[in-house]
Structure 1
Amino acid sequence: MGRTPSSSSSQPHMVFSMLADLDVKDGQRVLEIGTGTGWSSALLAHRLGAENVVSIEFDPEVAKGAGENLRTAGISPLVIVGDGRRGYVGGAPYDRVIATCSIGEVPRAWVDQTRTGGLIVAPWGPLYGGEAIARLTVDGETASGSFTRSSAFMRLRQQRPELPEHDAYFKGQEWPADGTRSTSTLSPAEVGGWVEQFAIGLQMAGAFWTVERYDDGAYTLWTYSTDALSWASADYEPGADSFDVVQFGPRRLWYETEAAYYWWEGQGRPGFDRFGLTVDSDGERAWLDSPDHPVPAVG
């Protein structure tokens, strides 16, 4: 038995906020990814009619519980056990698609199964951290739109990464191994906020972090590359104005973090609602204020 939660019931405020983003109209068909308890499915079915709602749940036991809840409520949308990435072509095309699990990549099937002019509403976030609700309008093979608000959902199971362990980077050596030492005036505490992580993550593909905390309030922020070739440590001490850094590998991950953070700061510290996402045949591109202003990559 695993120790990581796989399903939960979202806060009412978030459920209603996402449904407001979805903006359903009479007669529309909706595909929901992640049935969970069945609460959102029931709300959608009450609003649109059960025949217009399809919900996909990967976990058979969770789907069973949702089915029981829906029957008790006297509402019967179609609940399917399956891989949510694939959508459900049997009910397509849809006017709306909503995900109640977070993603790091919009599945192509969701765009293909949505009518032109339809909406996809989904929690989206980079590997590094941070997450927000993407509200994308579909136009043929393209989906594009802004983020509406902060979010924090469990990741779609098939998009949960297998990340290298700490020891994989050192191969038996002790820290600082062959790392290069330096100091930084950027505090590790400054990069830990949810929107800061989001902005940094948009620019730093293939990177993630962990924190090693100590009893005196100090901690080490570890940043790693997913290919297990590069790492950086940045030591935070309360009250300090300079922070010790060690970096190793072809990527200088702390320098990348600094560059990404200062870009965000230079743009006026934008919140989630100034960012957007475009998905098309070339992949995904995050942007600031307009699709014409893509978020730059660092490194």
Structure 2
Amino acid sequence: MTDTAPERRALAAQLVEAGALTAPEWRAAVEAVPRELFLNPGVFLPEGARWRPVTAVGSEPAEWVRIAYSVDTLTTQLDGHLTADQVGEAVRGLPTSSSTMPALVVSMIESLEVEEGHQVLEIGTGTGYSAALMCHRLGEDNVTTIEVDPDVAARADAALETAGYSTWTVTGDGLLGHPRRAPYDRVIATCAVRRIPYTWIRQTKPGGIILATLGSWANGAGLAKVTVNDDGTAEGRIIGRASFMQARSQAAVPVSGDLSARTAYADSERQTKVSPLMLDEWMPAFLAQLAAPGAQLVRAATSEGARLLCLFDPNRESFAEFTADGDGWQVRQGGPVALWDDIEQALTAWQEAGRPDITAVRLLITNRAHTYWIGGQQITTQTASHWIGDRSVLRWQHRVDRP
């Protein structure tokens, strides 16, 4: 077996230089945990529109080590079942499990503010690498990690055992947490969720911290850090941008088929007040998901080659279709919900407030609702779903399911 201690030290040094790694305890963990153990049986590397399989047994040792210690996210599963050892050539597919870029893994773990003796619940074991880092820092009995995919969980558990960590590896729906080992001091999710499940709050001690990526759009998710209060609520803020694969049970089915048929019958058509191209920006995309939960943004073209942008919400059978109109855009909307009306109102209020960054967003979670706001005004509204905007405060509230 190749000794990768030099590569581990080099990776730690890179992370320090990038500002992702600051604590000596976590640097020691990065230098101790062999990342290559958590990549078996192999990875998929992007090759145009396809994924090229690379396996440990089919590669030169030096090449495999180079790949294992790259600073990039490494895809380990496609389409919910396919691993690199099952194919011999480049294939198409949708990534469904990966080893996240080390800089994001380490910076998130540092943001969790763990201390000696803390019990941590990790949602989304994936390869098991981040669980191994926490086991090194806290001890294997203080880490519980849960993975919904049985095959992924089995590979992670085997890798953790090989690395010397007999931690609590659970197969199950992480959105339900793991009450058997509760309460926890810290909860960290390495998958994106649309809302922080209240089950996580119930399973976290007062004063405990929950860290999770909120959002279903890859270019518009926010890393939320909330503290659980004595009264069973949790509050905090978005501390930065993040991009993770969606929790399996919340993953949207990609919109496909004949888009013209889906948008054939519109209830209204008008000029937009703001450009839909704003949705290419991170903060507007984040706001759009709050205003229209479940909506998906699709880019397409007409048979004549004209550019089209569409919003679809399959659950509410609604759409908004945009076409360029000179210097502006026309929007056609259909279905029970006027998707663009709600999003446009949010974007307009955000612009009038001075276009604050995503890190200005705060949130309050109760057993009945998530409430987001920007500005210093106290939240008092009990309205189930609406935007309120002025130059000092924006706020958004919607109901959530109670698990």
Question: Would you call these one fold, judging by a TM-score over 0.5?
Answer: yes
Structure 1 residue aligned with 2:97:
7
Residues 68-111 of structure 1 show CA distances to partners (whole Å, capped at 9, x for unaligned) of 22122222221111111221222111100001001012222211
Residues 17-41 of structure 1 show CA distances to partners (whole Å, capped at 9, x for unaligned) of 1112101011111011111111111
Extract unaligned runs of 5+ from structure 1.
Answer: none
Task: Write the distance in 2 (CA, Å) between the matches of 1:266 and 1:114.
Answer: 38
Structure 1 residue aligned with 2:193:
103
Structure 2 residue aligned with 1:134:
224
1:199-210 aligned within 5 A: 199-210=287-298
> Retained in 2: the 8 A contact 1:203–1:297?
no
Find out whether 1:50 has 2:136 as its counterpart: no
Secondary structure of 2:321 counterpart: strand
Decide which moves more: 151-160 or 3-12.
3-12
Please give the TM-score of this superposition, normalised by the length of structure 1.
0.87
Task: Write the distance in 2 (CA, Å) between the matches of 1:287 and 1:179.
Answer: 32
Structure 1 residue aligned with 2:150:
60
> Retained in 2: the 8 A contact 1:128–1:209?
no
Find out whether 1:159 has 2:250 as its counterpart: yes
Shift of 1:233: 1.1
Structure 2 residue aligned with 1:295:
395
- Of structures 1 and 2, the larger Rg is shown by 2
Task: Write the distance in 2 (CA, Å) between the matches of 1:45 and 1:275.
Answer: 32
Find out whether 1:255 has 2:361 as its counterpart: no
Task: Write the distance in 1 (CA, Å) between the matches of 2:199 and 2:117.
Answer: 22
> Retained in 2: the 8 A contact 1:163–1:226?
no
Task: Write the distance in 1 (CA, Å) between the matches of 2:101 and 2:139.
Answer: 24
Find out whether 1:277 has 2:363 as its counterpart: yes
1:107-186 aligned within 5 A: 107-125=197-215, 130-140=220-230, 141-161=232-252, 170=261, 176-184=264-272, 186=274
Q: Say which structure, 1 or 2, has more relative contact order (CA 8 Å, 6+ apart).
A: 1
Pair 1:25–1:160, CA change in 2 (3 A): same
> Retained in 2: the 8 A contact 1:164–1:228?
no
Pair 1:7–1:178, CA change in 2 (3 A): closer
Shift of 1:297: 6.9
Q: Match of 2:312, as an amino acid?
A: Y
> Retained in 1: the 8 A contact 2:266–2:332?
no
The count of residues paired between Structure 1 and Structure 2 equals 293
Structure 2 residue aligned with 1:264:
350
Structure 1 residue aligned with 2:327:
241
Structure 2 residue aligned with 1:29:
119
Structure 1 residue aligned with 2:276:
188
Pair 1:178–1:68, CA change in 2 (3 A): closer
Task: Write the distance in 2 (CA, Å) between the matches of 1:284 and 1:211.
Answer: 30
> Retained in 1: the 8 A contact 2:220–2:283?
yes
Shift of 1:236: 3.5
Please give the TM-score of this superposition, normalised by the length of structure 2.
0.66
Task: Write the distance in 1 (CA, Å) between the matches of 2:397 and 2:186.
Answer: 31
Shift of 1:179: 4.5
Residues 102-137 of structure 1 show CA distances to partners (whole Å, capped at 9, x for unaligned) of 101222221111100000001111679721111010
Task: Write the distance in 1 (CA, Å) between the matches of 2:364 and 2:216.
Answer: 14
Q: Match of 1:209, as an amino acid?
A: L
Task: Write the distance in 1 (CA, Å) between the matches of 2:97 and 2:244.
Answer: 9
> Retained in 2: the 8 A contact 1:187–1:236?
no
